[in-house]
Amino acid sequence: MTDPLILIDTRGDGERRTRLITLNRPKQLNALNDALMDQLGAALQAADDDAGIGCIVITGSEKAFAAGADISAMQSHTYMHVYKTNFITRNWETIRRVRKPVIAAVAGFALGGGCELAMMCDMLIAAENAKFGQPEIKIGIIPGAGGTQRLPRAVGKAKAMDLVLTGRMMDAQEAERAGLVSRLVPLEKLMDEALAAADLICALSGPSVMMAKECVNRAFEGSLADGVDYERRVFHSLFATADQKEGMAAFLEKRPPKFSQS
Ligand code: HXC
């Protein structure tokens, strides 16, 4: 039997729990091939559909989150093959449809498609040994899973150009200074930190968490004026939820809220 390409676990002990997905091609530094991305897409969709799940964490090994798309699988691809099979869009983009928060817990290499996968997540928690980069330029291609768009939005044009045009890696400290990483922690604390953040999110009101994610994504994807209008509509709609009534009542009554997820 071959090893599964991803490992799926459920963590936490609250009413809603965390789905932990571990990329599992350690010998290939978690190089991302189509079979793995199909499985990751299915696992993400299943977690999103499961009412008992409040947050998703994606991680790799201590040596590599993922060292990129699988170069050995891509090397012989032709233009017609990638166009007709809708390469990348077909399975990598599933993550864009996930409505629950996704946290990337990154140790070691996050390169090429690995860096792009981490950037598709909503929060990026990195271990001190993490290394980020878009080295595609060194093998005759460019980032093709959103890297040329998400990296400049995350770190600004100057540093994005530097990374994309030279293919150099940046260490975790530089990535945190640049704003790519939300938290930087010692390697041995990485999973505790990511799962604790996920636990916190699981205990919140799911609908407001999903709407908050949608609004922040608008900031990333559209204009400021459209984003603010969109945020206001969603903000108004939250006053139709039971959890808004309960959350505010609990605050005023100085007690913990009991969210009904509705
Ligand atoms: C296929 C890979 C791989 C990859 C590593 N391996 N990265 N296989 N695709 N992206 C394999 C190696 O071939 C090797 O296999 C094994 O993993 C261990 O790697 P080593 O190179 O021996 O390890 P090390 O010396 O520690 O160097 C680590 C490294 C290096 C710096 C991360 O492996 C590297 O530069 N990898 C390629 C990074 C890259 O260019 N990524 C972008 C890919 S393109 P064997 O069998 O020899 O043991 C891309 C496109 C994105 O991501 C756009 C569409 C998604």
Active site residue 196: no
Ordered per-residue pLDDT tens for the chain, 262 residues: 678 999 999 999 999 999 999 999 999 999 999 999 999 999 999 999 999 999 999 999 999 999 999 999 999 999 999 999 999 999 999 999 999 999 999 999 999 999 999 999 999 999 999 999 999 999 999 999 999 999 999 999 999 999 999 999 999 999 999 999 999 999 999 999 999 999 999 999 999 999 999 999 999 888 888 888 888 888 889 889 999 999 989 999 999 999 999 9
Active-site choice (12, 68, 108, 113)? 113
Distance in angstroms (rounded) separating the CA atoms of residues 160 and 150: 9
Full DSSP string of 174-216? HHHHHTS-SEEE-GGGHHHHHHHHHHHHHTS-HHHHHHHHHHH
Nearest of 164, 159, 155, 119 to residue 137 by alpha carbon: 164
Closest atom of ligand 1 to 143 CA is 53
Active site residue 69: yes
Largest separation between any pair of C-alpha atoms in the chain:
65
Distance in angstroms (rounded) separating the CA atoms of residues 18 and 32: 23
Residue 224 one-letter amino acid: L
Give the burial class of 103: count Cβ atoms within 10 A of its Cβ; 0-12 exposed, 13-18 middle, 19 or more buried. Answer: buried
- List all residues whose CB is within 6 A of at least one atom of ligand 1: 28-29, 31, 67-72, 88, 109, 111-113, 135-136, 139, 143-145
186, 193 contact by CB (below 8 A): no
Active site residue 113: yes
